[in-house]
Amino acid sequence: MKFLQNVPPFLFFTGKGGVGKTSISCSTAISLADEGKRVLLVSTDPASNVGQVFNQTIGNHITKIESVSGLSALEIDPQAAAQVYRERIVDPVRGILPDDVVRGIEEQLSGACTTEIAAFDEFTDLLTDASLLADFDHIIFDTAPTGHTIRLLQLPGAWSSFIEENPEGSSCLGPLSGLAKQRERYAQAVAELGNANKTRLILVARAQKSTLTEVARTYGELSQLGIKNQYLVINGILPEAAIHNDKLAQAVYQREQLALANIPSAVASLPQDRIILQPVNLVGVDALRNLFKADVPLGNAEHYDLTIPPIDPLSILVEQIAKDQHGLVMLMGKGGVGKTTLAAAVAVKLAEKGLDVHLTTSDPAAHLENTLHGKLPHLEVSRIDPEAETERYRQSVLESKGKDLDAQGRALLEEDLRSPCTEEIAVFQAFSRVIRDAGKRFVIMDTAPTGHTLLLLDATGAYHREIAQKMGSNGHYITPMMQLQDPQRTKILLVTLPETTPVLEAGNLQEDLRRAGIEPWAWLINNSLAATGTTSPLLRHRAVQEIKQINLVKEKYATRLALIPLQEEEPVGIERLNKLAE
């Protein structure tokens, strides 16, 4: 592997959700540790599953991996980091400032913005802590899906300029005067990221047009940040030897080869590695050690039992949804499981019944128009664009609160609106508008990957608590959280793949939702090989491993369930989306 030659101290893996960043970063960590290197593997993903991969609890502290000598790991838990951050800010002023002022600071520090900044604060510590590099030869970062990673990497510069322009006041970060002390540390973090002798960034993609387009965009954005030491890894490629006169395998192979022949020019010249599709799920050290091998032996696939329990197609669930005539349908799950495609399929099916449908996304990396590839009567398509929503919110505040202010007051208001926390408020407002729209028609929402979605729900919950506290038992009100908790108004569809890690993560998400008083309505198992009848030995080997996960979802997790087979043709365009729903 080219990216494993002359490895610098810091390695970053980034890319669209579901491309295999965690598997490759874990395999890299094992490879370096096997060479006798001291390695720290860090996950900055809010929905980290590194602990599941190694089958041990890791958490928010450096933990030795029991099965690999020389390897330690750390999962940055955003919620735990936020609690530590809040205590660090608030504890020094308790008993000094009036109680109502302390409560005001706590309220400012309760939002999702603070959670993200707290996680970033830990990330910065890792980049700038000289003692860590004395303890470890390499620090490997398994980063979050692309949109979250870009935001994380942009923060050092954003916060530095915000501190510089806003010496007074406070925000969800806490009192800004205290942040000035961290400016030097943030500047050092930016320098480390741009230093080719210190940092290498590996863009991970699949042999698919969408993920290759995504890494090309990421490459451009990171290059603008001064991070230019980048490599490209294309993961999970179906080898020609696996076709075996199988129609599905032939279709997948041809689709992937076309994508590989048309790699975007921006990244085509980067140092490149290709990793073939493995016959097993990449959980456990033995499987991870085989990831970079070109040939993994298969058993006799012809005798595998691929019997699956009776499960409805997606169209049956859509029929049940249609009976309500309107409402919010939210698709949630791990990045890369196909939420965008399935959201579009549900929307197309409802619109073709003559129902009024609004299809929207809160995922910064989603492109619904590319999935639909056409227009349909009764179907409106939109996107919650964080930049556009932030600008809309800024203008609204300036026009309302700012209209009667003098020049100095307006300047102070504009300074406050430059806070990165403004985006959180703006996106939440857009989310609330979408929820209200579901009172008169169907709103199908393709959400961002799990961690980001939970941060949005956190903001929704904080708003609900604030309104409930103000209104008490005297007033009648319906908050967005109350609508999400009402099964008559909202249906949550959890999307997963028939694989160990996505199923575990969807199960964890279900528990998180239940703690918030939200009960998922159904599960969708997407891209199933077991449901296709494939004869390819490699694909059958993977298919037989799906049976256990399909049974687990049916028996343990889901009250309603649909199984969607892997498609021969990429499900793009209204006709193919219709076929997918059948």
- Whether 501 sits among the annotated catalytic residues: the reply is yes
Dihedral angle sign, alpha carbons of residues 514, 313, 490, 506: positive
Catalytic hit among 14, 15, 17, 22: 22
Catalytic hit among 18, 147, 327, 451: 18
Catalytic hit among 14, 15, 16, 20: 20
- Whether 356 sits among the annotated catalytic residues: the reply is no
- Whether 517 sits among the annotated catalytic residues: the reply is no
Catalytic hit among 45, 246, 363, 446: 45
| Angle in degrees, CA 279, 262, 22, rounded to 5 | 40
Catalytic hit among 14, 15, 17, 21: 21
CA distance 505 to 374: 33
Is residue 126 within 8 Å of 42, Cβ to Cβ?
A: yes
Both structure tokens of 157 = 């510069």
Residue with tokens 């790699």: 263
- Whether 22 sits among the annotated catalytic residues: the reply is yes
SS3 per residue for 198-236:
CEEEEEEEECCHHHHHHHHHHHHHHHHCCCCCEEEEEEE
Kindly tell me the burial class for residue 469, based on how many C-beta atoms sit within 10 Å of its own C-beta (0-12, 13-18, 19 or more). exposed
CA 79 remoteness from chain centre:
16
Catalytic hit among 15, 16, 17, 23: 23
- Whether 360 sits among the annotated catalytic residues: the reply is no
Catalytic hit among 501, 528, 532, 534: 501
Tell me the pairing of strands 63-64 and 379-381: unpaired
Sheet holding 522-528, edge to edge: 379-381, 357-361, 442-446, 327-332, 490-496, 522-528, 561-565
Is residue 334 within 8 Å of 52, Cβ to Cβ?
A: no
Residues forming beta bridges with residue 75, ordered by sequence position = 43
DSSP string, 6-37: S--SEEEEE-STTSSHHHHHHHHHHHHHHTT-
- Whether 20 sits among the annotated catalytic residues: the reply is yes
- Whether 199 sits among the annotated catalytic residues: the reply is no
SS3 per residue for 322-356:
HCCCCEEEEEECCCCCCHHHHHHHHHHHHHCCCCC
- Catalytic positions, written as ranges: 18, 20-23, 45, 501
